[in-house]
Amino acid sequence: MSAEKPRPLLIVEDDPALQKQLRWAFDRYETLTAGDRESAMTLVRRYHPPVVAMDLGLPPDAGSVSEGFKLLEEILSIAPETKVIVLTGQSDRGNALRAVDLGAYDFFAKPFEIDMLGLTIERAYRLYDLQQENARLRIMHQPDALAGLITRDPEMLRVCRIVEKVAVSNATVLILG
């Protein structure tokens, strides 16, 4: 019998009743809950959830969308592959467009159908998995840029290992020898 660990799903909602309802509805996941931006970011850093469902109206200014947009930007700045589904009572079209423009995967206006949210969460996990697999395959099939290099020099080998590690990123690197 294989006991596969449930995948983390972060729910960021300041309303305890809705938070509880969402946790119950998505009990097949390891539901992590946060009620504000700071605790949400702590959970993102600790658990690296592939999918986040978050409210835009968060304390200390729950009547505004400023905290929610800050959270969306922070999540995607440290984990750009995360699929963020925005849930909000602030249902105007401008917020939806801004959220998607900032990188949100989808947008739901409250009240929403829990089944539709569930389907969107499943789709988000599938897309996340496909993108992770694509990245893994791309790295495996990348030609070895250093294949023609022949050396026994320990310093040159050290430089080659560094180059191989950073070659898959867009980082600018300065190696001082």
Task: Please report, for the chain, the start and end positions of each structural domain, with discontinuous segments joined by +.
Answer: 8-139, 144-177
The DSSP-derived string for 8-59 is EEEEE-S-HHHHHHHHHHTTTSEEEEESSHHHHHHHHHHH--SEEEEES--T
Q: What angle do CA 92, 95, 98 make, to 5 degrees?
A: 145
Which residue type occupies 175? I
d(CA 16, CA 72): 20
Does the domain at 8-139 match CATH 3.10.20.740? Answer given as no
Query: What pTM value is reported for the model?
Result: 0.77
State pLDDT tens for residues 39-93. 999 999 999 999 999 999 999 987 889 999 999 999 999 999 999 999 987 667 7
